[in-house]
Amino acid sequence: MATVRPKDDPESDPRVRAVFDDIRATRKTDFVNNLWRALAFDATLLERTWADVKALMASPTTLDPLTKEMVYIAVSIANACSYCVHSHTAAARAKGMTDAQHAELLAIVALAARTNHLANGLQVPVDPAFDAGA
């Protein structure tokens, strides 16, 4: 199922071809996963999304690559994005995430959800000590 029809030959559009080529070169693989194939229904949407993903996830930055994938998984779980949980768990594994790290990541995500719901249920005022904006 999907809400857009994937193009029969998306790379006949040179803008799509350029993005797919960059995905393959950056990731050093021939595999272009379904999200990019679906986004290819609109070249501008594809280009902007890939530019943002590449700048943060495929470039050396302050945080190490595995930490970034784990944060990505955490957000995707909380936002109930089935596709994203699958794709970023696979990416984290490819970057070395062990079973023990995976289990601990899930445990922390679940703990955060638990206390998020407690705090939202109690409607506790924020302690002044936590205010960085003063």
Of the candidates 16, 19, 23, 74, which one interacts with a second copy according to CB under 8 A?
74
The per-residue b/e assignment along 87-105, b for 16 or more CB within 10 angstroms, e otherwise, is: bbbebbeeeebeeeeeeeb
110 counts as binding a second copy under rule CB under 8 A:
yes
Of the candidates 13, 17, 84, 95, which one interacts with a second copy according to CB under 8 A?
84
Read off the amino acid at residue 50. W
Task: Pick the closer one to a second copy by CB: 11 or 47.
Answer: 47
CB of 25 to a second copy, least distance (A): 19
Of the candidates 21, 24, 63, 96, which one interacts with a second copy according to CB under 8 A?
63
23 counts as binding a second copy under rule CB under 8 A:
no
